[in-house]
């Protein structure tokens, strides 16, 4: 990990005093720092993380304060967030599981093409069931999970070219979010390019990439309407995979919280939260695509027949993942079947 900026020193020093919590927590407010990768104007911050923090604070009767630090302002790079929380450098993070795929192989099942379709709430609830049942919980043994979620799903956003069939992507270079995204792009005949989300606008403008797998909600904060001309999804708003995320706390931080403060967190991390977070991501898509249309962009919803061509091309990606995780002793076939079953159940 690269050397972190001085802002992190206060957190590290503050951790030394955590032993005093047991004696003094009732008398003084507990301050926890939540670190994440997107700007403060992003829906993830304004509509998901900030309201959650406020709800926990209220439920604790003011005994806990959660300070939000967006846009990596405490230092480091986005892939380092998970180590920051595991090592106790920060108290809580919101991060992309796929930035460190080897750490979260089981939950990766939800990123595969057409496991998630177009309903973030349904996929969130499927993830919750598989987390509580232990089917994917091993991935998160080193942190205290608050909640997991997906975004609305990967749309195809293009700088210039209209895409209606898999062959339309052949030979192009596409920004991808995770390794499963890279597999999707490779299966479609394009070349994957990994980069942090904030780097995408410049990459599109300079033609480093021709397009990206990314949802519509990110259009307003990154002003992607200025560097793209085409947005593509399925006839029923189906997407081409998704990304999984976690909001997690350092285990030692959690262990030292007083019981009533733990209860405040638990009261706000239940099924209702997972549902609400799904709705946040689904609803945020509307503002993004509306902004793109207003800028003159073309919103393409491919036909059912065209979508079937994508499904045929991308089915080998699922088998590739099953074969990959088998080497880790994971029954990927069973996870795929279970994930599909639960997403279908909650999509009704």
Per-residue pLDDT averaged across 26-34, rounded?
86
Helix (H) or strand (E) holding 93: strand 92-96
Helix locations, 73-163, DSSP H? 81-86, 120-132
Assess whether pLDDT exceeds 50 at residue 19: no
Residues 6+ apart with CB under 8 A from 260: 60, 61, 63
Assess whether pLDDT exceeds 70 at residue 22: no
Give the CA-trace dihedral at 47, 53, 144, 183, to 10 degrees: 20
pLDDT of residue 25: 45
Lookup: tokens for 1? 């990990």
pLDDT digits (tens, 9 = 90+) for 141-182: 999 999 999 999 999 999 999 999 999 999 999 999 999 999
Contact 143, 249 (CB under 8 A): yes
pLDDT of residue 198: 86
Per-residue pLDDT averaged across 131-135, rounded?
99
pLDDT of residue 49: 99
Contact 254, 160 (CB under 8 A): no
Listed residue (156, 154, 159, 157) closest to 210, CA to CA = 159
Helix (H) or strand (E) holding 156: strand 155-158
pLDDT of residue 27: 55
pLDDT of residue 28: 86
pLDDT of residue 197: 86
Whole-prediction pTM value? 0.90
Assess whether pLDDT exceeds 50 at residue 39: yes
- Select the CATH number that applies to the domain covering 9-16+24-98+137-148+245-282 from these four: 3.40.190.170, 3.40.47.10, 3.10.129.10, 1.10.150.650: 3.40.190.170
* Lowest-pLDDT choice from 2-6, 125-129, 219-223: 2-6
The values of phi and psi at residue 251, to 5°, are -65, -40
List the chain domain ranges: 9-16+24-98+137-148+245-282, 155-241+284-347
Lookup: tokens for 95? 């991060």
Would you call 96 helix, strand, or coil by DSSP?
strand
Residues 6+ apart with CB under 8 A from 261: 25, 30, 60, 63, 64
- Between CA 237 and CA 36 the distance in angstroms is 28
- Between CA 92 and CA 32 the distance in angstroms is 7
- Residues paired with residue 230 on neighbouring β-strands, in sequence order: 158, 298
Contact 177, 218 (CB under 8 A): no
Contact 107, 139 (CB under 8 A): yes
Annotate 162-211 with DSSP letters as a single string: ---SGGGGTT-EEEESSHHHHHHHHHTT-EEEE--GGGHHHHHHTTS-SE
Listed residue (98, 69, 107, 100) closest to 83, CA to CA = 100
Lookup: tokens for 133? 């049942």
Q: How confident is the model at residue 4 (pLDDT cuts 50, 70, 90)?
A: very low
Listed residue (260, 273, 279) closest to 131, CA to CA = 273
Contact 30, 64 (CB under 8 A): yes
- Between CA 315 and CA 240 the distance in angstroms is 11
Q: Do domains 9-16+24-98+137-148+245-282 and 155-241+284-347 have the same CATH topology?
A: yes
pLDDT of residue 13: 39
Question: What CATH architecture does domain 155-241+284-347 belong to?
Answer: 3-Layer(aba) Sandwich (3.40)
Lookup: tokens for 57? 């604070």
């Amino acid at each position: 990990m690269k050397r972190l900026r001085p802002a992190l020193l206060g957190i590290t020093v503050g951790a030394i005093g955590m032993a005093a919590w047991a004696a003094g927590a009732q008398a003084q407010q507990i301050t926890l720092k939540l670190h994440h990768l997107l700007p403060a104007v992003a829906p993830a911050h304004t509509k998901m993380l900030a309201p959650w923090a406020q709800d926990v604070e209220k439920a604790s009767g003011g005994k806990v304060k959660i300070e939000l630090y967006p846009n990596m302002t405490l230092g480091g790079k986005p892939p380092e967030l998970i180590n920051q929380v595991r090592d106790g450098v920060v108290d809580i993070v919101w991060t992309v599981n796929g930035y460190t795929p080897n750490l979260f192989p089981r939950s990766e099942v939800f990123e595969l093409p057409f496991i998630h379709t177009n309903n973030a709430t349904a996929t969130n609830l499927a993830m919750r069931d598989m987390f509580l049942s232990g089917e994917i919980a091993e991935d998160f043994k080193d942190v205290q999970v608050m909640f997991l979620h997906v975004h609305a799903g990967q749309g195809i956003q293009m700088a210039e070219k209209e895409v209606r069939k898999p062959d339309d992507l052949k030979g192009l270079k596409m920004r991808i979010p995770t390794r499963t995204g890279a597999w999707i792009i490779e299966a479609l005949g394009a070349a994957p390019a990994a980069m942090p989300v904030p780097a995408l606008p410049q990459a599109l403008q300079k033609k480093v990439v021709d397009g990206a797998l990314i949802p519509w909600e990110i259009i307003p904060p990154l002003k992607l309407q200025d560097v793209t001309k085409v947005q593509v999804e399925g006839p029923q708003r189906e997407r081409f995979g998704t990304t999984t995320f976690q909001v997690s706390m350092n285990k030692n931080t959690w262990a030292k919280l007083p019981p009533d403060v733990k209860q405040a967190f638990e009261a706000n991390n239940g099924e209702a939260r997972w549902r609400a977070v799904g709705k946040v991501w689904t609803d945020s898509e509307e503002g993004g695509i509306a902004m793109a249309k207003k800028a003159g962009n073309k919103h393409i919803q491919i036909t059912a027949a065209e979508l079937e061509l994508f499904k045929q091309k991308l089915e080998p990606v699922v088998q590739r993942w099953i074969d990959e995780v088998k080497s880790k002793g994971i029954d990927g076939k069973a996870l795929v079947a279970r994930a599909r079953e639960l997403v279908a159940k909650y999509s009704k």
